[in-house]
Structure 1
Amino acid sequence: MSVLIAPAPSLSSRPTSAYPVAPLSVAAHDVDSLLRSGAVAIDIRSQQERDRDGIVLGALAIPAEQILDRLIPGSGETLRRADASSRWLLIGVDGHDAEMLTWHLQAAGVPGARFVAGGQMALARSADRRPVAGHTEREWSMFSAH
C-alpha cells in the first residue's frame, strides 16, 4: 500500500480562500455609530453610479476595481493610512458588490473591514439622513454658524 502526499501549497500574498475573521456586514442604522468610533467610509460605486444616485457625504470615493490595491497594506498603491488596524466601511450600490471585497480585505489581514448591508440604497432609505462622516458634519456646523 502506498501513500500519496500532496505537495505543500505555495503561499501567496493574497489568500484565495479563508474564513472571515470578523463579521462582514453592518446594518445601515449602525453606520453613524461606527463612523463616530473611527471607521472610514469608502464609496466603491462608479462615477456614473454616484452621478445617478448621489454621493455619500464624507466618504472617500475609490472605485471597486482599486479597493484591494488601495486598502491592503504593503502594495505600491496603498493609501498612507491603510494598515492592519484600519477600519474600512465599504458602501456599494446594494451591498452585494462590497461583500466580496470586504471578504478579500479580511482574508488579506484587514479584520476591521466591513460593508453596509443594502449599500447606498439602504443608507438612502434609512431615517438618519445626516452626513456619514464626522468631519463632514463638523464642517457643515462651521458653515451654518456663519
Structure 2
Amino acid sequence: MTVAVAAPVSAPFVSVPLSVQPGEFRSVLAAGGVAVDLRDVASHRRSGALFGAVAVDSDQALDLLSPDSPWALRGATVDAQWVLVSDDGYDAEWLAWHLQARGVTGARFVVGGYRALRAHGVTGSVGDDGVQFYDPR
C-alpha cells in the first residue's frame, strides 16, 4: 500500500507532556484532567472499572474526543485535558498523538495503561457526589 500526502502533517509544539506516570494519575485528575477509559466491556468485567472515568470505545474515541468532529462529546474542546487509559497504554498513546495533532493539546495517556494503575493501587477517583453509588450497605 502506498500513501501519498500533498502536504506534510504537522502539529504545533505543546508544552504539556504527552504521558502521565501511574503515580501522577490522581494529581493530574485533581488539576482538571478527565480520565477516559478506552477498554472494552470484557476488560471491565475481567479487571474492574476505572471509577470516575468516562468510558469510551477506543474505535470511536477519536471522533468523540475531537472538538471538530460532528460526533464530539459536549466536553470535547481544544483545551480539554483528556487522560487516556487503555489496557497496556499503547492504544491510549496512539490516540493522544492523534488528538494533539487535531489541536487538543491537553490529551495525554497513562504509561502502562490500566495494568500499571492497578499495580500502583489506583483504580480511579470518585468524588463525594459519586461515593454513594459505591457505598456497600
* TM-score band, normalised by shorter chain: 0.7 to 0.9
- Give yes or no for the alignment of 1:38 onto 2:32: yes
Aligned to 1:140: 131
Runs of 4+ aligned residues of structure 1 deviating over 4 Å after TM superposition are 17-20, 141-144
User: TM-score scaled to structure 2, two decimals?
Assistant: 0.83
In 1, the alpha carbon distance for the partners of 2:13 and 2:54 equals 24
1:76 deviation in Å?
Answer: 1.2
1:9 deviation in Å?
Answer: 2.8
Identical positions, percent: 40
Instruction: Report the structure, 1 or 2, having the larger helix content.
Output: 1
Q: CA RMSD in A?
A: 2.5
1:100-127 CA distances to partner (integer Å, 9 max, x unpaired)?
1100000110010000001000110114
- The equivalent position to 1:51 in structure 2, one of 45, 55, 64, is 45
- In terms of Rg, which structure is larger? 1
Aligned to 2:74: 80
Unmatched runs of 5 consecutive residues or more in structure 1: 1-7
How many aligned positions are there? 130
In 1, the alpha carbon distance for the partners of 2:101 and 2:22 equals 23
Q: Which amino acid aligns with 1:132?
A: G
Distance 1:19 1:95, change over 3 A: farther
User: TM-score scaled to structure 1, two decimals?
Assistant: 0.79
- The equivalent position to 1:68 in structure 2, one of 51, 62, 75, is 62
Q: Which amino acid aligns with 2:47?
A: D
1:33 deviation in Å?
Answer: 0.5
Unmatched runs of 5 consecutive residues or more in structure 2: none
Q: Which amino acid aligns with 2:131?
A: W
In 2, the alpha carbon distance for the partners of 1:26 and 1:97 equals 14
- Give yes or no for the alignment of 1:101 onto 2:90: no
